[in-house]
């Protein structure tokens, strides 16, 4: 089961943690913070990325770890979609959108590569 002793050692998890901090920071802004539905949904999906990486690691099998990495990948896409809504509603600017979106894109590539590696070594 992988070379990671702790989920905190996984670079994708570390980067997901940073992305989550960015999302929470953006959603504290006044206009965004008052849109409770979107604020809570983007926070949940962002938090789900790092949670799924950690949970998958905790399952202690390559197959289950890969499955949870795929869940994380789905949560990344959900968070990116919510970013578009926030941009369209004027809650965030293009620069903040791109910063978070691009970071999530990098995490997406990392989790998919790790998932493929785990499935190849089942």
Residue 3 Cα to chain centre, angstroms: 21
pLDDT exceeds cutoff 70 at 16: yes
Contacts of 85 (CB under 8 A, 6+ apart): 38
Query: Mind listing the pLDDT tens digit for each residue in 30-89?
Result: 999 999 999 999 999 999 999 999 999 999 899 999 999 999 999 999 999 999 999 999
pLDDT of residue 1: 47
pLDDT of amino acid 24: 98
Q: What is the pLDDT of residues 105-116, one digit of tens each?
A: 999 999 999 999
Q: What sections of the chain are H helices per DSSP?
A: 11-26, 30-33, 36-58, 62-88, 94-120
- pLDDT for position 7: 96
Highest CATH level, class, for 8-120: mainly alpha
Residue spans of the domains in the chain: they are 8-120
Scan for tokens 């990098």, then name that residue: 106
Under 8 Å between Cβ of 75 and 41: no
For tokens 């983007």, what's the residue? 42
Reported confidence tier of residue 2, pLDDT bands at 50, 70, 90: low
Neighbour tally for 12: CB within 10 Å: 22
């Amino acid at each position: 089961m992988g070379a990671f002793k702790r989920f905190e050692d996984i670079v994708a998890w570390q980067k997901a943690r940073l992305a989550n901090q960015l999302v929470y920071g953006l959603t504290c802004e006044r206009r965004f913070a008052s849109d409770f539905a979107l604020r809570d949904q983007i926070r949940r999906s962002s938090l789900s990325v790092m949670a799924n990486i950690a949970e998958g690691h905790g399952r202690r099998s390559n197959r289950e770890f890969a499955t949870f990495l795929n869940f994380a990948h789905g949560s990344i896409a959900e968070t990116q979609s919510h970013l578009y809504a926030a941009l369209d509603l004027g809650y965030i600017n293009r620069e903040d959108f791109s910063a978070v979106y691009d970071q999530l894109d990098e995490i997406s590539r990392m989790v998919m590569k790790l998932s493929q590696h785990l499935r190849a070594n089942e």
